[in-house]
Amino acid sequence: MGYSDSEGNFQTNLKEIIVELLYGAAQPGQSSGGIMAFLPFVLIMGIIYFLMIRPQAKKQKEKSSMLDNLGKGDKVVTIGGIYGTISGFKEKGRIVLLNVDKSTNLTVNKSSIAGLAEKVSSTDLEGQK
């Protein structure tokens, strides 16, 4: 065999300790738990983060950057679908003056701009409710 009783006992005890840590020590009348019981929840949260939360945060960051870089003369679309050209700003840049037609000017909140007219898609307009 090559192993003494003490070495075999140590290996058996080590295996039992590892199994108890992974699967949890089963108490009388209870099923085993431990780290393996939480593994599906951790995997689901990881999938949710990478498929839903992270892309949304990236999109929100891009929109914030776009709103910060707006300037006079930019052609934009509001979340209501109104196309116009920025003719100025009021109240420290929070209010935007839109020139819609030769004689029509609108005052809108900066957050109501969906994006630049060339880059905005129909899903961007529909997603803002």
Instruction: Provide the H-helix boundaries in the chain.
Output: 5-23, 35-48, 54-68, 122-127
Q: What is the pLDDT of residues 19-34, one digit of tens each?
A: 776 666 555 555 556 7
The pTM of the full predicted model, rounded to 2 decimals, is: 0.57
Q: What is the pLDDT of residues 67-116, one digit of tens each?
A: 999 999 999 999 888 999 999 999 888 899 999 998 899 999 999 998 88
In contact, 59 and 108? CB cutoff 8 Å: no
Distance CA 110, CA 47 (A): 34
Structural domains in the chain, sorted by start: 5-65 (no CATH), 70-127 (2.30.30)
The position carrying tokens 């914030």 is 64
Structure tokens at 81: 């679908």
